Structure 1
């Protein structure tokens, strides 16, 4: 991890972590292994809907009461979700720790799941999904996961309203009950002394039940690969996501995966002057201003994806994709020492700056406590050229995954030979 966290464990096994804040405001977060990877065909969309049930009716509070009391106390409520985790957070003044702890405990123990709420939240979730998937890049990345893993990590982050409407409320309740166990939960404080945090939470979270060993993510991590081409002639540029099987968060190669992302990056630290275009894409991107290349390294609890997201007009998309694959192949043989150093420094800088934010620090801590993430500044520093070569060689042995949205007549084929 990039920041030093103090940790503790409650008597029932709930894990705690806390880190100093840069200011006086504090944050308490409830993180749960309840992301979309844990959904099945029987409860598809439950994770999305469950995230929205946070801060709704509980046995002790109505939604109106939560909103009014939080406003009165100056408390800001947030939610976050990805394929592994759901996180509910409260930002508050130092004097409001007991209120925040009680509220999050109410979410964990006493959420009511009222019928009228599920109807309203289903509509709201459907609107969220429509808005997100209207973005071609978001749609391509979601489709990419589906093609790569089919189910599990291939489950969509975005539940459509029709699927949610077809699910009985009991499916969401059962999902909540299965996931809200002491071994799946961690509580993370930002700007809260670990002793104060443990004191505030010992009684409020002691009733969480224990659960069976969580093997859901591992069972859902099988990589398949594949291709999907979706015609859309109404967007200005084609979107193409290309990925290969990556590594999980607790894998020793996870740091090399992050450094590889920076080796593929075209971003420049210079605001004016330098083009910031990597040599292998310079000609295409420079001559096509609408083109862009966004590399990604996505590591989860039990698997990962490494790849690039390309955006380009029809005349440029094929050449850009070919150059990316050519450059990846070259990294199996030679890794420039200066570029490797720059990539490692960029990876460390991103880790540090992300962890300086409340959201970033909380997510890092949750990944460490619940998912086994072991990436640190030291592990990034230790990445060698041989590590990159080995990682890329393994990636290119996997079947590529491609998601293309746009003018499919311009869609290139990925040739690894």
Structure 2
């Protein structure tokens, strides 16, 4: 319980060793560290790394993303994320907010299609003071009806400010998977305000269980984090996640305007097949994800070159790659003027349906992927998100340096096999905006 957590000296031994006896570390911490993994008897996963940073982060994660929603509680994960930090059984919303801010810490809630994560970050002393409030927010929710209803306007604002490219990707998932992973990250407009306190409580009770969770730390001592995880009041149980196979389809949302935003995709790789997942990650970089030089305008990716050959100059394009625990989605996101979007979409589809990539493109993709993994690790927020995703979905986590080293084992044959998987399967397409020239799915050659 929260009253006992203050007795756990989670960070002091690390601080004494890290700052009194070791050479000074970079302000953001070291980038090469070991990730330690432990699974408790109740199947709660604990993963942590000591990066010697003055800023520590602790995240409690559950496999409770939007893929677990049903037609009866659609939008519950959107409401749950918005309601993070409301009053709990032992603390008011004001007390939680004031104490965390007074200590100089920060508490955030993030969600995607598979996980919901509550992350506390701050200096080591601040984390010690505010850790009981993280426990309260995660394990002692009450969801008072008047507080839940007060947050509906924020949901409306998030829906109103969604960029069209995000909506295109959201619709692509719906076209590709229909249910499960096809569920939106956002509540539907017609269901705003209909997610009750009882619905939130039932969803939390069903999904916030020890067998579906993980406690992750960055800049903390692993043994002390394990001790903290053992104090969490979580119901036992694994629950179940309905499989979400790739099916394929098409969704069009004609909104007018000057631009069209089109997402095209095919079947990708699941995270449980790490070798294939890395091959698709390399394929994404080889296809192109935009200029790799700051303020640069040149993209040497295969997609950019192919579309440049059509004579169209006004467009933006990037390869998409989303790997989930049991499925994946690989494709392309395009933005172009409505009058010329058709040519861009057809050229992009030809690349997805193409034959094989050259060794030079694959080598460039591997180098870019390794650089991206290591540079993302320079941000503590990105690093703990990477560890948390692995711990929650795979049961253990690897360090960024380990993942970067595994990229070298990906062969050209692996990457071309990934491309063949996309090209030989059924494509999906979702489009938003001015669709006057955007072809339908059955018109793509």
Establish whether TM, by shorter chain, passes 0.5. yes
SS in 2 for 1:410: coil
SS in 2 for 1:310: strand
Per-residue CA shift, 1:297-349, capped at 9, x if unaligned? 1011121110010011134322222222222333x3x3211221110011111
Per-residue CA shift, 1:193-252, capped at 9, x if unaligned? 11232233432x1x31111x3431xx2412221112221222x32111000011111113
Structure 1 residues 123, 220: closer, same or farther in 2, change over 3 A?
farther
Partner of 2:280: 257
SS in 2 for 1:80: strand
Q: Does the Cα contact within 8 Å between 2:61 and 2:388 map onto a contact in 1?
A: yes
For 2:296 and 2:240, how far apart are their aligned partners in 1?
Answer: 51
Are 1:361 and 2:383 counterparts? yes
For 1:197 and 1:273, how far apart are their aligned partners in 2?
Answer: 43
For 1:355 and 1:115, how far apart are their aligned partners in 2?
Answer: 40
The alignment's C-alpha RMSD in Å is 2.4
- State the Cα distance separating 1:52 from its structure 2 match: 2.2
Structure 1 residues 305, 61: closer, same or farther in 2, change over 3 A?
same
Partner of 1:352: 374
Q: Does the Cα contact within 8 Å between 2:306 and 2:348 map onto a contact in 1?
A: no
- State the Cα distance separating 1:271 from its structure 2 match: 4.5
For 2:68 and 2:252, how far apart are their aligned partners in 1?
Answer: 27
Provide the TM-score with structure 2 as the length reference: 0.85
SS in 2 for 1:244: strand
Structure 1 residues 74, 413: closer, same or farther in 2, change over 3 A?
same
- State the Cα distance separating 1:98 from its structure 2 match: 3.5
Partner of 1:6: 36
Partner of 1:209: 235
Partner of 1:224: 247
Q: 1:150 aligns with which of 178, 181, 187?
A: 178
Structure 1 residues 274, 64: closer, same or farther in 2, change over 3 A?
closer
- State the Cα distance separating 1:284 from its structure 2 match: 4.3
Q: 1:370 aligns with which of 386, 392, 414?
A: 392
For 1:280 and 1:36, how far apart are their aligned partners in 2?
Answer: 31
For 1:160 and 1:122, how far apart are their aligned partners in 2?
Answer: 12
Unaligned 5+ runs, structure 1:
none
Partner of 1:385: 412
Provide the TM-score with structure 1 as the length reference: 0.90
SS in 1 for 2:236: coil
Are 1:245 and 2:275 counterparts? no
For 1:409 and 1:201, how far apart are their aligned partners in 2?
Answer: 55
For 2:303 and 2:36, how far apart are their aligned partners in 1?
Answer: 44
- State the Cα distance separating 1:257 from its structure 2 match: 0.7
Number of matched pairs: 407
For 1:161 and 1:313, how far apart are their aligned partners in 2?
Answer: 28
Partner of 2:304: 281
Partner of 2:362: 340
Are 1:188 and 2:216 counterparts? yes
Q: 2:53 aligns with which of 23, 39, 59?
A: 23
Q: Does the Cα contact within 8 Å between 1:140 and 1:404 map onto a contact in 2?
A: yes
Per-residue CA shift, 1:142-193, capped at 9, x if unaligned? 1111111111111110113531423332111100100111011111111111
For 1:350 and 1:54, how far apart are their aligned partners in 2?
Answer: 31
Structure 1 residues 278, 108: closer, same or farther in 2, change over 3 A?
closer
Structure 1 residues 404, 18: closer, same or farther in 2, change over 3 A?
same
Structure 1 residues 186, 314: closer, same or farther in 2, change over 3 A?
same
